[in-house]
Structure 1
Amino acid sequence: MSLLDINDCDGDDFHPSSFNIDIVFVHGLREAGLDAWKDVHTGSLWMTSIFPHARHKARTLVYEYDVNRMVTPGGPAATGIYDEAVSLANVLVANRELQNAERRPIIFFCHELGGLIVKRALAFSHSRKHAKLTHIRSIYRSTVAVMFMATPHQGLRKDAIIRWNHDKKRDPSQFELSLLEGSDTIQEVTDHFTPIMKDFQLYNFWEQKKTDFEQTSAYIVERNSAAPSWPDVDQCGINATHSAMVKFSSTKSPGYTLVLGSIEKYIRSAPQTVRIRWEQDSALLNSERAFDIGGLLEASVAGKTLITAAEPDRWKSEPNISTIPNNTSTSENVYYHVGLHSDYFVGRESQAELLLHAFKPTEDTGSEKPKVFVVYGLPGSGKTQFSLRYLEDHQRHYWGVFWIDCSTKETAESGFGRLGQLAGKGNERGAGIAWLAQTYKPWFVVLDNANDPQMTLSEFIPSTGNGNILITTRNPGARLYNTVGYLEFRGLNPEDAITLLLRLAYPDKELQDTKQLYSIGAKSIVSELGYLALAVKHAAFTIRSRMRPLEFYLKSLLTCRTTLLSRPIVESAADANIIATWELPFGEISSHRSTDYRDAVDLIHIFAFLHFATIPCAILSLCSDGIKSSTGLAACPSFLIDPVAKYQVEERILVAARVLYNHSIISIHDVDAGTCNTALLSGKYFTLHPAIHEWARGRLRKCDQLKWLCCTAAILEHAISSNMEPSGRMFRRLLLPHIESCRSLLKSAYPNLPETAEQASQLEKFGLVYSEAGHWETARILQKQVLAYRLRTLKQYHPLTIQAGRNLAHTYWNLFEIEHCLNLLNDIRKSQVIYRPSFFDYFVWPPLKPCYFEYYLTLDDLHKSLWLSGERDLSLTVGLRATNGLKELLGPEDPVTVNAMFNLARTFLHLGRYEESFELLEHVIKVRKRFWGPEHPDTLMARNELGMNLYAQGKDLLKAEQLVHSVLQSRNRILGAEHAYTLWSVNDLSKIWTQLERYDGAIQILEEILPIVARTLGQHHIGMVMTRSNLSRAYIRSGRLEKAKKEIIYIREQVPQNHPDSIYADYGWAYLLFHHDKNPELAVKCCYEALDRGLESLLLRPEHGTIASLTTLLLQIYEFQGHEDANESLRLKFPQLKGSRDPESIDFNLLQPPRSTNPPAAVEQESLPPVNHQPLQEEQPRLNRAPRTW
C-alpha cells in the first residue's frame, strides 16, 4: 500500500503547515492507483487540473492498495477490507504526524470498494481508546466528510460480479464473493460504521449509465446499494458509467459541479467541526478512563473479575479449561441422548474455554434458572460440530445430555416429547420441558439448527432447573435468548483450516510432512473456501478420494463456483463455497452409469424433500409394493420398481446410500433400539447436513423439483399402512418430521391442495398419522381438505368420501367438537341409507334399515358420539343396532365387533345398567387380552371401565380400586404420566378413594395433576373441568367447603346450562348454600331450578344419581326447617328415595362438552327400531317423555 501526495508530484510550492485540509482519494476494485482518477482521453488528473486545490489550500492524497492481491484466488478473502482499512489509518496517521498535522481536517473521496475501506478505517480509528493509541483515533476526530462514489453499501449483485470477471477471462475470487448483497463482510462493515456515521457529513452518489460488457450492459453498483435510505444524508445520481463518474475531464463533466460544491461546503465548516469534535471526544475519553479505573479498583477490592457477554475479548483470559467446577465433577451421566457424533474437529479452543466459563455453576444451583448460551453464524461454520465436541468432552459432568432438533417447531416439539417419554410422562412437548424444569441434577440441552426467525425459542426453554442450554443458529437475532453470553462463528483460524484440510485429505501421512509438501496449495484452497469448516471438510474428502488431486482442486473449485453463481440457490459466498465442494463429487457420481451410482442420484433427490435428519431406510423399502401400483408419477427411482422382493429393495438402497456416504454427502447411523424398538426399522437411518439438504433441493430445476416432490409424497403415503397397526406406531412417529417437510413443500407448490386424487390419498394418510400422534388440529385441516375434494369430485355416497368423513368425525370427537361430529356422521348415515354397496343391500326389511358392514361402522361411530354428547338413551338405541349388526356379520370376537361392544358397555354403565355393562366388559377384556395382551391401550381402557362399573354398583370398592390402580400404573409406564388417559385414570381413582373416605389421598393426586392438565390441555378444557369437579367432590366430602366453593364456581362458569353436568354443578352449589353459607331458602330455590331444568329438558332421568342427590338434599333441608308436608310430598314424587343410599352414579362427574338440547333430526325421525339379537334387548329412545314441572 502507498499514500501518494499529488501536490508533491505537481511541484506545488506549499509548506506543510500552509495546508488547511487533506482530501484523501481511495480507489475501487476495478481500477487501481492514479488510473482510477485519470481522464481516459487526456490522461490528466482532475484533482490537479481543474480542482482549485491551491485556492482552498487543500493537500491531495491518493491511497493505493494492491487490487491484484485481493482478487487473486487464495488472497486475503476474509480479512481483505479490514487489513486495508488498518493500513489506510496507520499510513495516513504517519504521514500527518510527519507534517505535524494531526488535527488538520480530512475529507475522504472514495470510489466503490474504497468506500467500504474508508468506513472500516474510521470505525477502526474510533475503537482505539487507550492513551497509547490516541494517534490512531486522530483520523476519526479529524474527519469532516466522506463522499461515496458508487460504494456498494449493501453489496454487489451476482450478475455484476459474473459479468465483470467474464470480461476479464477469470473466475470470481472468494474476496469478490464476500462483497455479494447481504454478505457477512458487508454486514460487518455496516455494523461497525453505523454507530459513528452521524458524526460525519456524508454524500452518496450512484451511477446513472450502464457499463458495457461483451454481450450486454449493466450497472456495477445498483442505486439501492449505492444510496441506501439513510436519514439526513445527501444523495444524487451522476449521469456517467461506473468508471467515468470519478473521471472529470472538465468543469462541465457530469457531476463535477455537485462534487466541487460539496467539497467547498465541507472545507468551510471543517475548522469548527474538527475543533469541537476533538474537545468533546477528549472529554468523553477522559470520563470513560476514570470510570474504568474506579470499576477495576472496586472489583479488585471485592476479589472478583467482571465478565460481560458484550465484551468477549475480556473472556479469553479468564477461564481455565482444566478447572472443572466442584459440584459437577462428581456427577454421573445417566442420559446421553444425542444421536450424533463429532467428526474430526480442530480449533475453537478459545471458544470452548469461553463456553466452559459461561456455564460454570454458581454456589446456589438449587434456585437457578437454566443458563442459555447462543452460538450463531454462517452455515457450515462448525456450530453443530463444536457443540458435539463440547458435549463429548464434558459429558461426564452432567446427569443428562439431550439434543433437540429445532429446525422446525414440529421437530422441536417432537424432541421434547421424546424427553417426556423418557421421563415416563407422555410424549407431549410440555412433559419433557416440565421434567427438566423439575430436575435439579445438572443437565445440558442443545437446541440445534434454530434458524427460523419466526420461531419463539422461549417456548422450549424451561423456566427453572439446574441446566445449561446451548442454542446453535444462523439467525443473529437469536442472541436475545442468551443469559450468559453468545459467540459468532465464521471461518476457522487459517492455520486450523489448513490443518483440518491436510489431516482429512491425507490421513495416513504425518501432518508435518503434508504441510511441507502442500501448505501453499492448501492455504489457497482454504482461503477461497472462506475457512468454513464444512466446505474444507468436503474438499478434503474429494482430494482424498483422488477425484481431484490437491494441486488441481483449486482450479476445479473456481470453475464450478462460477457456474453455480447463476443459480438462485446461491445467495452468498458461503453458499457458493459449500455448494461447490458438493457439486464436484456429485458431478462424479452423476457421470457414472452403473446402477449403484444412478440409484445414489435418485436417492439424494428423494432425501431433498424429506426432513434432513433421521430418515429411516424402512420408508423406502416399505413403500415399494405401493409405488409399483402408482400411476401418474413423472419421476420414480428404479430401485423401488425393479426388485421383486423387499430385501432386494433394501439392499439396493443401502448400496446407493454407501456411495453418497463415501462422497461425504450423507451420514449413516444405526437406529437407537432404545427409542425405536419396532420391527419396521431396518437398523439404519440417514442424515444430511441442513446446508446439504438445501443444496440437494435447490440444485434441481423447478419442474424437476415438482416431479421428485410428488414422488416423495407417494413414497411416504405407501410407507404408511392403511390398517394403522399398533405395532407400527413408533415407526409412524418417526415419519412425522418427514411428513411435515413434504406437506409444507406441497402447500407451497399447490395452493389449492389437494388438486388430484393421488394428493387427496396422500393427505388422508398424513392426517391419520397426525391424528394417531395426537396432533388433532393439523389432522382436522388435512381431513377437511380431503373431504371437500372428494365431495366435489366423487360426491357424498362414494366409499372414499365416506371414509374421509369418518376420519374427520373421529378427529372432531377427539377435539370434543361434538356438534360437528354428530352432524357429519348423520350426513354420512343418510348417504349410506340411500346409496348402498350392492343391489342386494336394498332388499332388507324394513327398507330404510340397511344391514351392511360400512353402515354399521357409521352407526358405531354415531353411538360413541351420542354417548359423549350426553344423549345416552339415543346412544343406547344406535349402539344396540350397530353391535347386533356387526356381531351377525363378523361374529362376537372380531376386533371391530369387540370395539362396538365396548362402546355399548360404556353406554350401559352410564345409564345405570351395570350388570349388562359388566357382562360385555368381561367379554371385551377376554378377547382383547387374547389378541393384544393385557397391557395394550385398548385392553387397559376396558379394564378401567370394569373398575368404574364396580365403583358405580358400590359392590366391591376394593376390587374397583385394584383394577383402576393397576390400569393407572400401566398407563403411567406405557403412555406416560401426562397422557390424557393416564390423567383420566387418576380422576377415576380419586372417585374411588373419595368413596372409601380416603379424602387426603384423593385430594393429593388431583392437586398434583392440576398443573399438568392446565399445561397440556388448558384451563377451559373438558379434562380440567372433570378434574376440578372431582376435586370439589373430595373437598365437600372431607368438609373443606371453602375450597369446594371455589371449584364449584369454576364448574358453573364452564358448563353450559343445557348440559347434564350443569345439574351436578347446581347440586354442588345448593349443597354449599345450605351447609357452608347457611342459607336454606336459596339452597331450596337452586335445587328446584336444577330439577326443573334437568327433567323438563330431558337432560337426566328421574332415577339418575344427581337427581337423587338433589332430592335427598331437599329432604335434609325440609327436615332442618321442619316442613313435614313438603317432605312427604317430595317422597311421594320420588319413591325411590325411601331407604336409598347416597348414589354413586358413574355419570356423576363425567363432563362432556356442550350439546344441543335437540338430537339430530334425521336420527330422531328414524328412531332405529330393534333388530334380532339374542343376548341384548334394545329399548326405544325416550325422546317424547312428557315434561315434568315443579
Structure 2
Amino acid sequence: MSTTSPSNTQPSTTQPTGGNKASAKSKSEWLAPAILTAKTITAAAECVPFPYIKGVSGTVVILLETVEKVRKNREDLKELCESTTEIVMILHDQILAHGNTAVKFKAMCEELESYLAAVVLAVQNLHNPSKGFRKRVKEFLLAAVATNSKVNEMHAIMTAPSSVVTPPSQSINDCPPPSRIFQGRQTILAKMHKFFTPDSGKQLIYVLHGLGGAGKTQIALKFIQESSANFSDIFLLDASTLDTINTGLKNIAMSKSVGDSAQDALTWLQSKHEQWLLFFDNADDPGINLNQFFPLCDHGNIIITSRNPELKVYGEHYLVSDMEEADAIALLLQSATKGSSEENVQIAAKIVKELYFLPLGIAQAGAFISKSEDLNGYLTLYRKNRAKLLKEKPGQSHDQYAWTVYTTWQISFDKLSHLAATLLQLCSFLHYTGISEDMFSHASQYSFPVWLPATKEELQEPLEFLSHFLGPTGEWNSLSFFDVTNEIKAYSLITFDAATKTFSIHPLVHTWTRTTLVDEAASHLCISSLLGMSIAEIPDHDITLASLRLMPHLGALSPFNAGRGAGSGVAFSYIYLSVGKFTEAQNLIEQTCEKYRLVFGEEHLATLKAMHQLGLTYSHLGEYKKAKELEVMVLEKRTKLLGEDHADTLVTMGNLAITHSELGDFDKAKELEVTVLEKRTKLLGEDHPDTLSAMGNLAATHSEFRDFDKAKELKVTVLEKRTQLLGQDHPDTLMAMGNLAGTHSDLGDFEKAKELDVTVLEKRTTLLGRDHPDTLRAMANLAATHSKLGDFEKAKEHEVMVLEKQTKLLGEDHPETIKATAHLAVTYYNLEEFTKAGEFEVVVVDKRRHLLGDQHPDTILAMQNLTLMHRALNKLQEAEELEQLMEDIDRLV
C-alpha cells in the first residue's frame, strides 16, 4: 500500500468525462513506477546483444508517457499498462538468461511492439481534432481491446507454471541458422563433417578457436545446419559466463522434464545413448574450466567456439583465421548487394585485401557500401576514416552478432591486466610479425654505456615496464613474460609461432590497438627507447642476423620518427647499415651527430660514437674521403680521452685501416692493421671475435700486396677459429670462408675456390636472403671464379643479376655497383661481345676517375681494360689516347 502523504500531491485540475476521477495520487501509485521500470529496462537493453528487446521496451515507455499526458480514459488503460510492463520485465530476464538462444523471443517482441504502437497511435488520436470524437474513441477502444487480448495471451504463456518460458512451439535449444550471406569455409566444414562420424564409440569434441570476428560461430552454425539430421538433439549454450552456461544446462533439464539444475541436464546427457550435440558458443573466458560442463560419458558430440587457443587441449581443433580471397570477395559483394561483374570483383579484391580478409570487417564494409551504394569510393573513405568505419554498427545485419569489429576486440582488451594491455600497446608500434621475447630481454640488461647519453630518468618508463619481468637479482624471468603473453594469447589478440619463437598480431588488431592509447607519443617514445636499449646489448658478431629480425620493426617505427628514443639514433643506424640501407643510416646518424655536437660538444664520448658511426656509414656509401676525414678526427680524440689501447680506439683504428685500403693506400692500411692485431691479441686473446676480425683485415691487405701465402695462412686460422666459436653457418664464419675462397683463387686453385664460393652463396641465401649485400657479394665472387674457370656464360648469368640488384640497392655510383659493372664488362669481353664490353667499361672508367681519382689502382685497371676493348673494336685512336693518359699519370706518380 502506498504511504504517500496527501501533502505531497496536487489536486487534479481537470474533470474526466465519465468514470472515476483520475487523481495525481492514483497516477503515483501505478503509472510513475511503471514508467521508471520501463525506462530502466530500455537502458539495460543497451547491454543486451539482441536489439529487439530494446525496441519493445522503448515502445512501452512511449505508451506509458503518452498515457500520462491524457486527460480522459487513463484508468481504462491501467491493466494494459501494468500487464505490458510485467511482460517486458519477464522478456528482459529471459533474454539475459538465454544468451545467444534468445533469438527465439524475436517474434514475440516484434508482435508485442506492433500492438503497442497501435495503442500509442490511438491514444494520441484522442487529442486529434481533425477526426470526430466518436471515431477517435472507437479507434482507441478497438486498439486497446485487441492489445489487451494479445497481452493477456502472452502473459499466460510467459507466466505459465511448470513450463519453461519460451515462445510457442519452439525448443529453447534450437540453433539459429547461419548468416544468410555465409560464404566459403569449405576446408574447415569438410574437416568437421569427417570428424563427426556416427557411432565412433567415444565422445567427440571439436574446438574452433581464433580472433574475434573471424567467423567461428558462423562456421559452427553452418555445420550444424548441414548435418542436423545426424544428431538426435542439438543444444546451444552461451558459454561466455558461468551463469549463462548453468542457465543453458538448467533449461535443457527443464525442457526434457528431467529436473531443474545443470547437474540434472548433465546426468540426462550422460545416460542418453544417442547422438546429441552440445554447442558451447563464445567460451572466451580463460578463467572458466569448461571441462566441468562436459557430460562424463563415452558418447555424444561437443563443438566449442573460443578466442582462447588453450581450449585446443579438449580435442580436435582448427585455427579460424582470415577467409580465402575468392570467398571474401563473394561475401563483400553479397553483403553490399552488388553484382559480381568483372569491375566489381576487381574493386572488391582491393577492399578485402585492405581488410586482411577478416569476415566481420568484410561484412561490416559490405553493409556500409549497401547503404552508401558506392563500392568504388569505399576504399578511399576507409583509409581516411578507418577507426570510425570499423566502430560503426550497420543498421541492418544478416545475423545476430551484436558487435562491430572494434567493439569485439575492445571487449577482450578490457579484460587484460594493465601490464598485458601495455605490452600489446607497445607492440602496436612494431611490425605486426616477428615480435620476440629477446627484444625485451636484451633491453632489460641495458648497461648504460658511456657513449649513449641516456640517463635512468630519461628511460624511466621503459625501465619500469621491464622491471615486471625481472627476478629478485635483476635477471630476466621468462616465466613472467610467458604469463603476460599467455594472457593476451587467451583472447587471440596475439599468436605465437613455436618454430620461429616469435609473436604476431593480426594487422587490423595491430592498427586498432593504437586507438586504445591515451598518450600515443609517450608510448612511441617508450618502445623506441626500449628497442634502442635492446640493440645496444647485442654483441657485434650477432648483429647481422639480429638486424634482419629487427629491421621490419624499425621500418614500422619510422613513420613516427624512429630516432626519437634516447640513444636510439646511433643504435638504429647500426641496424640500417647491417642490412644495406645505407642512405637511411646516413640520414639518421647525421641528424644524431649534429644534435650531439650542439648538446654535448665534439669531445663528448657520445658525440665521438656518433661521428664514428657516421664515418662507417660514409665508407659503406663509398665516400671514402669523407670517411677518412671523420675517422682520423675520432681516432685522435679517442686516443686522447680513452688511451690508445681502449677497445673503442682500436675499433676506430681498424675502420681507418679499411678506409686507407679502399683508397689504395695499402702501406698505411697494413701499418694500422698490424697495430690493431697486436693490441687485441694482447688485450683480448687470440680467439676473441674482435681479434679474429683484425686478423682477417690484415690478411686482406696481404692479398693486396700479392703475398697470397701469408694471406692464406691468416685466413685459414680465422676460418677455423670462427667455425669453432660461432658455428659453420654464422655470418662471420661465412665471411671468413668467402675470403679464403678468394685467396685460393689468387693462388690458382679455382676448383677449391668454387667449392667454397658455392657453399657461401647457398648458406647466405638461406640465412640472409637473396638481396642482402653479403649474398650479392658471394654471388659476385662465385661469378669471378666461374670466369677464371672459363665458364663465362655462367659468370655472366650471375653478374647480370648482381648488377641489377646492386644498382637497385646501392645506386649507380656506389663502388660495389661500379665493381659489378667492371666484372660484367670483362665477362662480355671474354665472350667476345666487344661492343657491350666497351660500353660498360667506359662507364667504369668515368665513375672511378670521378670518385677515386686517376691514380687509384682500380681506376688504372679500368683504363687498361678499356684499352684492350678499344683495340678489339679497332678503335685504335681511342686506345692510344687512353694509353697516353696512363703514361702521364704514371709520370706524375
TM-score for both structures, normalised by structure 1: 0.41
- Over 3 Å counting, the alpha-carbon distance change for 1:639 and 1:993 in structure 2 is closer
Q: Which residue number in structure 2 is paired with residue 685 of structure 1?
A: 503
Percent identity for Structure 1 against Structure 2: 18
- Residue 821 of structure 1 and its aligned partner are, at CA, apart by 1.3
- Residue 797 of structure 1 and its aligned partner are, at CA, apart by 3.1
- Over 3 Å counting, the alpha-carbon distance change for 1:710 and 1:1052 in structure 2 is closer
- Residue 1020 of structure 1 and its aligned partner are, at CA, apart by 4.2
1:599 aligns with 2:439: no
Q: Return the alpha-carbon distance in structure 1 between the equivalents of residues 766 and 470 of structure 2.
A: 44
Matches within 5 A, 1:50-449: 342-344=214-216, 346=218, 355=329, 374-375=348-349, 383-385=357-359
Matches within 5 A, 1:543-554: none
From 961, 970, 985, the counterpart of 2:778: 985
Contact in 1 for aligned 2:813/2:847 (Cα 8 Å): yes
Q: String of CA shifts for 1:472-523, please: whole Å, max 9, x gaps.
A: 99535999xxxxxxx999966944341xx2xxxxxxxxxxxxxxxxxxxxxx
1:902 aligns with 2:696: yes
Question: Higher helix fraction: Structure 1 or Structure 2?
Answer: 2
Number of residues paired by the alignment?
556
Contact in 2 for aligned 1:639/1:653 (Cα 8 Å): no
- Over 3 Å counting, the alpha-carbon distance change for 1:699 and 1:983 in structure 2 is closer
- Residue 761 of structure 1 and its aligned partner are, at CA, apart by 1.8
Aligned-partner SS, 2:849: coil
Q: String of CA shifts for 1:769-826, please: whole Å, max 9, x gaps.
A: 3333333222223322333333333333333333222222222222222222111101
- Residue 1044 of structure 1 and its aligned partner are, at CA, apart by 1.9
Q: Return the alpha-carbon distance in structure 2 between the equivalents of residues 927 and 911 of structure 1.
A: 25
- Over 3 Å counting, the alpha-carbon distance change for 1:738 and 1:960 in structure 2 is closer
Q: Which residue number in structure 2 is paired with residue 958 of structure 1?
A: 751
Q: Return the alpha-carbon distance in structure 2 between the equivalents of residues 378 and 1033 of structure 1.
A: 50
Q: Which residue number in structure 2 is paired with residue 1071 of structure 1?
A: 868
Matches within 5 A, 1:1044-1123: 1044-1056=837-849, 1058-1059=853-854, 1060=856, 1061-1077=858-874, 1079=876, 1082-1093=878-889, 1095-1098=890-893
Matches within 5 A, 1:625-636: 625-626=445-446, 630-633=456-459, 635=461, 636=464
Q: Return the alpha-carbon distance in structure 2 between the equivalents of residues 966 and 786 of structure 1.
A: 39
Q: Which amino acid aligns with 1:1076?
A: L
Contact in 2 for aligned 1:633/1:710 (Cα 8 Å): no
- Over 3 Å counting, the alpha-carbon distance change for 1:613 and 1:793 in structure 2 is same
Contact in 1 for aligned 2:332/2:362 (Cα 8 Å): no
- Over 3 Å counting, the alpha-carbon distance change for 1:685 and 1:911 in structure 2 is same
1:1040 aligns with 2:833: yes
Q: Return the alpha-carbon distance in structure 2 between the equivalents of residues 1041 and 378 of structure 1.
A: 53
Alignment gaps of 5+ in structure 1: 1-68, 78-315, 323-338, 360-370, 390-470, 480-486, 502-525, 539-580, 590-596, 677-682, 748-752, 842-849, 1099-1190
- Over 3 Å counting, the alpha-carbon distance change for 1:644 and 1:619 in structure 2 is farther
Q: Which residue number in structure 1 is paired with residue 250 of structure 2?
A: none
Q: Return the alpha-carbon distance in structure 2 between the equivalents of residues 1038 and 380 of structure 1.
A: 49
- Over 3 Å counting, the alpha-carbon distance change for 1:1047 and 1:825 in structure 2 is same
From 563, 568, 576, the counterpart of 1:762: 568
Aligned-partner SS, 1:623: helix
- Residue 699 of structure 1 and its aligned partner are, at CA, apart by 4.9
Contact in 2 for aligned 1:376/1:383 (Cα 8 Å): no
Q: Which amino acid aligns with 1:994?
A: S
Q: Which residue number in structure 2 is paired with residue 715 of structure 1?
A: 530
Q: Which amino acid aligns with 1:496?
A: H
- Over 3 Å counting, the alpha-carbon distance change for 1:358 and 1:994 in structure 2 is farther
Q: Which residue number in structure 2 is paired with residue 823 of structure 1?
A: 629
- Over 3 Å counting, the alpha-carbon distance change for 1:1031 and 1:358 in structure 2 is farther
- Residue 352 of structure 1 and its aligned partner are, at CA, apart by 5.1
Q: String of CA shifts for 1:316-347, please: whole Å, max 9, x gaps.
A: 99x9999xxxxxxxxxxxxxxxx999452649
Q: String of CA shifts for 1:178-219, please: whole Å, max 9, x gaps.
A: xxxxxxxxxxxxxxxxxxxxxxxxxxxxxxxxxxxxxxxxxx
- Residue 894 of structure 1 and its aligned partner are, at CA, apart by 2.5
From 466, 472, 475, the counterpart of 2:380: 475
Aligned-partner SS, 1:631: coil
From 459, 462, 472, the counterpart of 1:644: 472
Q: Return the alpha-carbon distance in structure 2 between the equivalents of residues 1085 and 379 of structure 1.
A: 61
Contact in 2 for aligned 1:853/1:889 (Cα 8 Å): no
- Residue 904 of structure 1 and its aligned partner are, at CA, apart by 1.5
Contact in 2 for aligned 1:599/1:639 (Cα 8 Å): no
From 493, 496, 503, the counterpart of 2:398: 496
From 723, 745, 770, the counterpart of 2:560: 745
1:793 aligns with 2:599: yes
- Residue 906 of structure 1 and its aligned partner are, at CA, apart by 0.9
- Residue 899 of structure 1 and its aligned partner are, at CA, apart by 0.9
- Aligned-residue RMSD, C-alpha: 4.8
From 493, 496, 505, the counterpart of 1:667: 493
Aligned-partner SS, 1:1055: helix
Aligned-partner SS, 2:567: helix
Q: Which residue number in structure 2 is paired with residue 136 of structure 1?
A: none
Contact in 2 for aligned 1:795/1:801 (Cα 8 Å): yes
Q: Which residue number in structure 1 is paired with residue 816 of structure 2?
A: 1023
Matches within 5 A, 1:571-590: 582=410
Q: Return the alpha-carbon distance in structure 2 between the equivalents of residues 478 and 783 of structure 1.
A: 33
Q: Return the alpha-carbon distance in structure 1 between the equivalents of residues 627 and 498 of structure 2.
A: 40
Q: Return the alpha-carbon distance in structure 1 between the equivalents of residues 687 and 328 of structure 2.
A: 66
Contact in 2 for aligned 1:375/1:473 (Cα 8 Å): no
- Residue 852 of structure 1 and its aligned partner are, at CA, apart by 4.3
Contact in 2 for aligned 1:633/1:707 (Cα 8 Å): no
Q: Which amino acid aligns with 2:503?
A: Y
Q: Which residue number in structure 1 is paired with residue 615 of structure 2?
A: 809
Aligned-partner SS, 1:718: helix
- Residue 658 of structure 1 and its aligned partner are, at CA, apart by 4.8
Q: Which amino acid aligns with 1:996?
A: L
Q: Return the alpha-carbon distance in structure 2 between the equivalents of residues 963 and 75 of structure 1.
A: 67
Contact in 2 for aligned 1:340/1:388 (Cα 8 Å): no
From 718, 743, 747, the counterpart of 1:949: 743
- Residue 622 of structure 1 and its aligned partner are, at CA, apart by 4.2
Alignment gaps of 5+ in structure 2: 1-41, 52-179, 187-209, 220-321, 334-344, 364-375, 449-454
Contact in 2 for aligned 1:378/1:489 (Cα 8 Å): no
Contact in 1 for aligned 2:440/2:466 (Cα 8 Å): no
- Over 3 Å counting, the alpha-carbon distance change for 1:609 and 1:76 in structure 2 is same
Matches within 5 A, 1:907-986: 907-954=701-748, 956-986=749-779
Q: Return the alpha-carbon distance in structure 2 between the equivalents of residues 890 and 877 of structure 1.
A: 20
Q: Return the alpha-carbon distance in structure 1 between the equivalents of residues 691 and 529 of structure 2.
A: 33
Q: Return the alpha-carbon distance in structure 2 between the equivalents of residues 805 and 926 of structure 1.
A: 34
- Over 3 Å counting, the alpha-carbon distance change for 1:877 and 1:603 in structure 2 is closer
- Residue 860 of structure 1 and its aligned partner are, at CA, apart by 0.8
- Over 3 Å counting, the alpha-carbon distance change for 1:1032 and 1:379 in structure 2 is closer
- Residue 700 of structure 1 and its aligned partner are, at CA, apart by 4.8
- Over 3 Å counting, the alpha-carbon distance change for 1:650 and 1:797 in structure 2 is same
- Over 3 Å counting, the alpha-carbon distance change for 1:613 and 1:345 in structure 2 is farther
- Over 3 Å counting, the alpha-carbon distance change for 1:905 and 1:1071 in structure 2 is same
Q: Return the alpha-carbon distance in structure 1 between the equivalents of residues 415 and 184 of structure 2.
A: 47
Q: String of CA shifts for 1:2-48, please: whole Å, max 9, x gaps.
A: xxxxxxxxxxxxxxxxxxxxxxxxxxxxxxxxxxxxxxxxxxxxxxx
